[in-house]
Amino acid sequence: MIDFNLWKEVLTNPIETFKKEEKNADLGQGVIHIAIAGVIAGFIGGLATFTGLTAVGSMGGFGTGMMGAGIGIIAFIGALIITPIVTVIGWLIFSGIIYIFAMIFGAKGDFTKQSYLIALYGAPLMIITSILNIIPFAGGILSFLAGLYGLYLLTMALKQVHKISTGKAVAIWLIPIVVFLVLAAILAGAAYMTILPLMTV
């Protein structure tokens, strides 16, 4: 069973919660945390689409008419099924990338412990972000701030698991982000250079 009180504890008192929960690390429990959050986030996102609260919903009119209602129901059910699957896979891939860079920096922590602690804060933040994303205007800013807090929580989790300094913990997640942005810029540039001659014909 999932102790949902952990979600509140990890958001309000992360350092002590990470210390306490490190010994309880279990990959299966991490999957459950992320999957449950994925179902809840999928429900929120699907409901928002069905009722027309999202950009997609407002464009398609999912909340009105027989045709729109039918598509909205399909989107709602799809979100409930797909979101938890995608979030669990994404969580494992993300933790795997972070773990590789942690090893590069000489960390000695355990993958299971790292993944479990990431799941503890990742699950409630996922739900919070899904709610914030349907708030007009301010939702985007609040989601960004929630993301920044997520990076702080990731830093604290890495420090606890790998017994490293704050600087190393930040570098472990910052370098992959920089690498990704550089690769994205290179690919975008290559795509532009490929399309540009076609546009001038």
pLDDT digits (tens, 9 = 90+) for 29-45: 999 999 999 999 988 88
pTM > 0.85: no
Model confidence at 140: pLDDT above 50: yes
Sign for the CA dihedral angle at 91, 94, 96, 102 comes to negative
Whole-number pLDDT of residue 67: 37
Query: What backbone torsions phi and psi does residue 62 show, to the nearest 5 degrees?
Result: -60, -25
Model confidence at 79: pLDDT above 80: no
- Residue 159 domain boundaries: 5-199
Q: Which of the four pLDDT bands, split at 50, 70 and 90, describes residue 166?
A: very high
Model confidence at 195: pLDDT above 50: yes
Check if the beta carbon of residue 50 is closer than 8 Å to that of residue 76. yes
Give the Cβ contact number of residue 67 at 10 Å: 11
How many domains does the chain divide into? 1
Whole-Å CA distances, 193 to 73, 85, 129, 199: 42, 36, 36, 10
Whole-Å CA distances, 172 to 58, 148, 165, 183: 40, 15, 11, 18
Span 82-88, mean pLDDT? 92
**What spatial distance separates the first Cα and last Cα of the chain, rounded to whole Å?**
63
Q: Please state, in angstroms and rounded to a whole number, the distance separating the CA atoms of residues 182 and 25.
A: 34
Whole-number pLDDT of residue 193: 83
pLDDT cut 90: percent of the chain above it: 64
